[in-house]
Amino acid sequence: MSKQKPWNLELFRAFDDNFSEDHLLINAPIRNFLEDEYIFFLSGAKGLGKTLFLRYKSLLYHRRFGHSVKFNVSQTELTENLRLPAQYLSYKDLDRFRTVQQWSELWELSFYTVVFRLFGLTLPKPIERILPLDSNTDVSIAISCLLNHRNRVREYRDALLEFQGRRNEVQSAVILFIDDVDQALHELLSNFPKEPSQDYQPVTDVWVNAQMGLVKAVYTLSRLNAHIKIYGTIRREAWEAFQDPMALNYRRYIAVLEYTKEEVQEIFIKNIYLTPPQKMPKLNASNPVERFIGFTEIPHRFAKMPNGEPRREKVLDFIYRHTYGRPREIVLMGQKIEDLVSATHYKEATEEQRFLLLRQVVNKIGGEIFAQYREEIIPYFDEAELNDLIRRIGRNVIFREHFNSLGETLLRRYLNFGLLGYVHQGDLQGGLVQRFLPPATYNCHRLRPLPNTEYLLVHSTLDSLMLEHHALGTFYDERNIIGDRYPFVPVEQAPQYILEYYLPKGVSGNRWGAGSENGGHPEYGLEEVYCTFFNFHEKPHQFVERFHSEFRKAHELLTLLGRLCSCHLLYRRLHRTEYREQKERCIKEISRYQVVRPYQARFNGLNEEITLTRFLDRLIGRFVTLGALLVLDLHLEWIHDLLTQGQFEFTPHDKHRANALTYLSRAFYIKGLSQNEPRCPDRPEHLRTKEEIFSHLSPFEQDELRRFAKDVVEETLHLNWLDKAAAEWLDQNVLKRVWTPPGR
């Protein structure tokens, strides 16, 4: 068997008798596409291998079926690469072909035309008149002729009805493979300038809806005649922008192409094994990365550990974070790095010199990848806006106090494009983690909101461009290496504690100034307890840290509860196994938290550690109750069961509500709590009840609830197991009804 060429950016052309599947990285979405005859489309960003695996599926089908099936292409061609040599389109034409339905009809007509000619069947007269006499009509010719005779739309519809009425004349299998639809549309629309001053929305609609019309046409044809199978690719941006009730139905027939970091890095390592040994600087190393590059870790030039030592990262992680995580980009990196490491000057260089040389190549290629990515942005990338941003951002970490001056619209756009990242709490210990959205996962019609974060981060692919305008020594953060899922060390600031910030504005009964036997504090009122507990200036640092750590965990618990509610609602609506399984995972994850605590335990002496611990338990239980009641709209008995048993069932028990109310009132003294649960925020009386309860809370609790209400919506929509259509349903029917606390 001949050896495969390493770092091959044209791998899709490499299928021959010596080709082996071992050369490919095949993950679950790809395997599903290759093996499931009813998955008709691969959806993904550019550079993910859509063409490669569409051609590979064609190869497998040609080998499997041979001449027993009619194909639109030979085993040599494998796919028809769409061409649209249509006549010039005007803005008026864009309006004519702007909807999914219009494009679906064009595609369906084109496919019927190709299929009928493959079987030698006569065509409807309106179609026959506009086509060349060549009996080997392909999809490109068919749809181009339809577009060029676009004034005959009414005749087309009559022809489509005739095709559909005669569909059963196709009585044996026929398979079509079509690729490059997005690129053909791009070229068709290239005469419309991509400028903010232009009305570019019709162009975007055509680009998106032509692809989704293709999906609809294939879906329709497959249901009308099982003998006809059509396979193709669409861009992820088009799928994300598709807003239609049929999206859930279509999702079954689409494999969304995604890769984990580990899978992309595996592609890099596979190519190392294909690289000739004589090109490598460290032949005797057992680690393939060390053999190829000469080392396995690289120090950062500016990010330091607390002891002043440079932070280090795996060299493969360093390379990866200067891409957008796409196979084509990691192969391009490897190709350029191979040129570097095989050079004599690199092999003779010291380790420090090699670090510098590798950084230069990786940053340069990262900049080129960014330049290419800008051309892919839908609807367009605003270069003037980029230049303005570059001038105004002097560091790769942007602090919250600068968000307003940069503008929310700009920041949202760059965050959705994956060019800016954010920092969020990523583990049970309260550690912070960096997050960048993958390319092409944005909805160009409705961008995600900015997350609730203290920091925004500049993607490493922008470094080379940013450094053209800013000093090297001041651009990079001195604490952090910026990269997706890297840990983040926050800026150390001395907190200022003001007692009034933590004091509730009202509690139930007269418990603020007087003791309560039933409430567990018979000897002193809650005011004394609060003032003693929140006298942080006289408390050890560990005490304050514990308080904040416990509240972070309470936020995590509430977020998990929100996720659990989403899974429950989705499973109840869609009856899909993955949502039941996710619901079970949430329940298991919740069990890891210290949910059940002695919330009604009696207080002893005010300054005794046991009293402070019991009061902290109550503060946590009170906050969980408030979040679950006001934001998640849980029943009182569900909250009671959660706090006393660690779990609950989504079944209302009206007769248990009074007991639950008694328990929660005694433990958490929430003013305004009653059996009349405010679970419908769109009802004015329920909204007033929520606002009344909220008005009695401490400013600290109010701020924390505001943050949670915002987090629970954003966190739910960003779940990686939640497909687009389900997320949209959840957004429209559940999350938009989530109560937003008043104020800031």
The DSSP annotation for 66-89 comes to GGGSEESS-TTT-SEE----PPPP
Write down the pLDDT at residue 494: 45
Rounded Cα gap, residues 452 and 469, in angstroms: 29
Evaluate if residue 2 carries a pLDDT over 60.
no
* Most confident of the ranges 42-46, 90-94, 298-302, 382-386: 42-46
- What mean pLDDT is predicted for residues 34-44? 97
Rounded Cα gap, residues 248 and 462, in angstroms: 36
Place of tokens 């991509």: 194
Write down the pLDDT at residue 646: 92
Write down the pLDDT at residue 586: 85
Rounded Cα gap, residues 285 and 6, in angstroms: 19
Write down the pLDDT at residue 330: 98
Write down the pLDDT at residue 192: 80
Out of 174-183, 377-386, 691-700, 735-744, least confident range: 735-744
b/e map 370-389, b = 16+ CB within 10 Å? bebbeebbbbbbbeeebeeb
- Pairwise pLDDT comparison (197 vs 598), residue with the higher score: 598
3-state secondary structure of 81: strand
- Verify cis geometry, omega within 30 degrees of 0, for the bond prior to 379: yes
CB-side exposure of 251: number of CA atoms within 13 Å?
14
Write down the pLDDT at residue 300: 94
Write down the pLDDT at residue 744: 59
* Most confident of the ranges 463-467, 551-555, 628-632, 718-722: 628-632
Evaluate if residue 471 carries a pLDDT over 60.
no
Sign of CA dihedral 491, 495, 496, 502: positive
Distance, C-alpha 631 to centroid of its chain: 24
Rounded Cα gap, residues 626 and 631, in angstroms: 8
Q: DSSP character for 2?
A: P
Write down the pLDDT at residue 112: 97
Percent of the chain predicted with pLDDT > 70:
94
Rounded Cα gap, residues 72 and 115, in angstroms: 8
Rounded Cα gap, residues 227 and 5, in angstroms: 38
3-state secondary structure of 452: coil
3-state secondary structure of 5: coil
Percent of the chain predicted with pLDDT > 90:
64
pTM as predicted: 0.68
Helices (H) and strands (E) in the chain, counts: 31, 13
**Residue 312 β-bridge partners:** 299
* Most confident of the ranges 183-197, 283-297, 427-441, 459-473: 283-297
**Residue 434 β-bridge partners:** 423
Rounded Cα gap, residues 377 and 381, in angstroms: 6
Place of tokens 């795996």: 314
Each residue of 78-122: pLDDT tens digit?
Answer: 999 999 876 677 888 888 889 999 999 999 999 999 999 999 999
User: Which band of pLDDT confidence, cut at 50, 70 and 90, is reported for residue 607?
Assistant: confident
Write down the pLDDT at residue 23: 79
Distance, C-alpha 421 to centroid of its chain: 12
Rounded Cα gap, residues 77 and 51, in angstroms: 12
Write down the pLDDT at residue 595: 93
Token pair belonging to 431: 């550690």
| Residue 651 contacts residue 635 (beta carbons within 8 Å) | no
Evaluate if residue 294 carries a pLDDT over 50.
yes
Write down the pLDDT at residue 219: 97
| Residue 621 contacts residue 668 (beta carbons within 8 Å) | yes
Write down the pLDDT at residue 740: 85
Rounded Cα gap, residues 115 and 228, in angstroms: 8
Rounded Cα gap, residues 187 and 541, in angstroms: 63
**Residue 175 β-bridge partners:** 71, 229
- Burial (CB < 10 A; 0-12, 13-18, 19+), residue 143, is buried
Evaluate if residue 199 carries a pLDDT over 70.
no
Rounded Cα gap, residues 264 and 329, in angstroms: 9
Averaged confidence pLDDT in the chain: 90
Each residue of 121-134: pLDDT tens digit?
Answer: 999 999 999 988 76
* CA trace torsion 381, 385, 387, 390 (10° rounding): -110
CB-side exposure of 299: number of CA atoms within 13 Å?
12
Token pair belonging to 292: 């190829």
Distances in whole angstroms, Cα of residue 63 to Cα of each of 75, 404, 539: 8, 59, 75
Q: What contacts 182, CB < 8 A, 6 or more positions away?
A: 207, 211, 233, 234, 235, 238
Write down the pLDDT at residue 251: 94
| Residue 420 contacts residue 456 (beta carbons within 8 Å) | yes
User: Which band of pLDDT confidence, cut at 50, 70 and 90, is reported for residue 135?
Assistant: low
Rounded Cα gap, residues 351 and 347, in angstroms: 10
Q: What contacts 360, CB < 8 A, 6 or more positions away?
A: none
Each residue of 629-651: pLDDT tens digit?
Answer: 999 999 999 999 999 999 999 98
Each residue of 535-589: pLDDT tens digit?
Answer: 988 888 778 878 887 887 888 788 889 889 989 999 998 888 888 998 998 898 8
| Residue 216 contacts residue 111 (beta carbons within 8 Å) | no
Write down the pLDDT at residue 392: 85
